[in-house]
Amino acid sequence: GALAADHPLMDGRTADSPLITAYRGGKPSRRPVWFMRQAGRSLPEYLKVREGIAMLDSCLRPELASEITLQPVRRHDVDAGIFFSDIVIPLKLAGVGVDIVPGVGPVLDKPVRTAADVAALPQLTWEALEPIREAVRLTVAELGKTPLIGFAGAPFTLAAYMVEGKPSRDHLGPRTMMHADAETWTALANWAADASGMFLQAQLEAGASAAQLFDSWAGSLGLADYTKYVAPASARALDHVRHLGAPLIHFGTGTSELLVAMRDVGVDVVGVDYRLPLDEANRRLGGTVPLQGNIDPALLEAPWDILEAHVREVIAAGSAAPGHVLNLGHGVPPGTDPDVLTRVVELIHSISPA
């Protein structure tokens, strides 16, 4: 089915917001900005409500997940909320043994390495996603005209954690598997695609106005492997939600050589990390899609005049594209001074859109 008539994108709340307008290639009333990882450890109010509650448990308590999503919107006046959850939540809700170890990241009880391991994976059900839908409903009721962005991990990034069983730098496990045992790889990538796709669908149908697919670790792949072994699974994840008509964003890090292939998975907007200037990203994409990015998170700790000059450069480079939503080139570092983020938002909003 389509989005309900009382969905924020359908009932007049968010369709004309600066964020959705820019994602659709229109002229926004102000320059839209949000930050990946805007919710989280940079905010004292986050540390306070999370006290004594494990990361993944906090994602599954709807009131708490909603409150954490709203915190950075209240504080920074950003143009979107990003749903507070994690890319491994669909695994957890399917019944896969997974936890987030503080300072480490996602760790599985048992890595998924063989055809038998993949065949034994439990299936995610629509009912299991109810805490996600409830958290989204609570959040959009508070957000009013500010859109909520939903998200999911892309199949490769999910599989990278599943095969290694923990974070890794080179992702050798999944990269070996796609060549050495392509059949098992395809089965795993399809399992991850359907889990991601259902997670996206739950968020969008419950009230999110856009959704971002995070393929954070796709940059460890060459273009040939990405195109053959990964892009079809990412397209399959998005196949769960294309019919809903909400803008879809695709982001990864170290993906300068993959931007065209990532667009061709079938998305409306491409997110660019801090390594590639937006004018060059736009040239590589042939001016076909709005871009999102790409303030270097490292500069958030630089003196203000240096950070301001950098933000102005990012805006100038982004003006070449058919639309631009400001963001960081990756997530907010945990040690970031939140007042700096508020000031960056004020600066961006003070510069009139083209």
Report the nearest approach of ligand CP3 to the CB of residue 92 (Å). 12
Q: Give the DSSP H or E segment for 291.
A: strand 291-295
Q: Is 74 considered catalytic here?
A: no
Per annotation, catalytic residue among 23, 46, 161, 274: 161
Residue 110 in contact with residue 97, Cβ under 8 Å? yes
DSSP labels for 198-243?
A: HHHHHHHHHT-SEEEEE-TTGGGS-HHHIIIIIHHHHHHHHHTTGG
86, 150 in Cβ contact below 8 A? no
**Is 19 one of the binding residues for ligand CP3 (CB under 6 A)?**
no
> Amino acid identity, residue 281?
A
Task: Give the nearest distance from C-beta 287 to ligand CP3 in angstroms.
Answer: 27
Could you say which of 25, 105, 131, 254 contacts ligand CP3 (CB under 6 A)? 105
Cβ proximity to ligand CP3, 9 vs 73, nearer residue? 73
What are the residues facing 250 on neighbouring strands? 213, 270
Name the residue nearer to ligand CP3 (CB basis): 86 or 296: 86
41 makes contact with ligand CP3 (CB under 6 A): yes
CB of 39 to ligand CP3, least distance (A): 4
Annotated ligand binding at 171? The verdict is no
Contacts of 268 (CB under 8 A, 6+ apart): 23, 24, 247, 248, 249, 289, 290
The sheet with strand 269-271 has its strands ordered as: 81-82, 148-153, 210-214, 248-251, 269-271, 291-295, 324-328
Determine whether the annotation assigns residue 57 to a binding site. no
Q: Which of 49, 55, 64, 235 binds ligand CP3 (CB under 6 A)?
A: 55
Counting contacts by CB under 6 A, is residue 82 touching ligand CP3? yes
38 annotated to bind ligand: yes
- Told to check if 40 binds ligand CP3 by CB under 6 A, we report yes
**Catalytic annotation present for 169:** no
41 is catalytic: yes
CB of 271 to ligand CP3, least distance (A): 10
In the window 321-340, what residues touch ligand CP3 (CB under 6 A)? Answer: 331
Measured CA distances, 218 to 134, 300, 345 (Å):
31, 25, 29
**CA-based nearest residue to 128, from 212, 215, 201, 209:** 201
Question: Does 286 interact with ligand CP3 (rule: CB under 6 A)?
Answer: no
Is 214 a binding residue for ligand CP3 by CB under 6 A? The answer is: yes
Residue 209 in marked binding region: no
Does 312 participate in catalysis according to the annotation? no
Does 275 interact with ligand CP3 (rule: CB under 6 A)?
no
Dihedral of CA atoms 307, 309, 311, 317 in degrees, nearest 10, equals -150
The verdict on 249 binding ligand CP3 (CB under 6 A) reads no
Told to check if 36 binds ligand CP3 by CB under 6 A, we report: yes
- Which of these, 292, 345, 346, 278, lies nearest to 38 by C-alpha position? 345
Closest separation between CB of residue 86 and ligand CP3, Å? 4
**Nearer of residues 185 and 214 to ligand CP3, judged by Cβ:** 214
* 216 in contact with ligand CP3 (CB under 6 A): yes
37 is in an annotated binding site: yes
Instruction: Select which of 13, 46, 79, 86 is catalytic.
Output: 86
Computed from CA positions of residues 97, 98, 102, 104, in that sequence, does the dihedral angle turn out positive or negative?
positive
- Cα separations in angstroms, 227 against 112, 156, 213, 216, 235: 23, 12, 16, 16, 11
Cβ-proximal residues to 73 (8 Å cutoff; 6+ apart), any chain: 80, 81, 143, 146
Verify whether residue 37 is a known catalytic residue: yes
Pairing of strands 98-101, 105-108: antiparallel
Task: Out of 50, 275, 284, 343, pick the active-site residue.
Answer: 50
216 known member of a binding site: yes
- Please tell me whether residue 314 binds ligand CP3 under the rule CB under 6 A: no
Annotation: binding site for substrate: 37-41, 86, 161, 216, 330
Catalytic (active-site) positions: 37, 41, 50, 86, 161
In the complex, the residues that contact ligand CP3 under the rule CB under 6 A are: 36-41, 55, 82, 84-87, 100, 102-103, 105-106, 151, 157, 167, 214, 216, 331
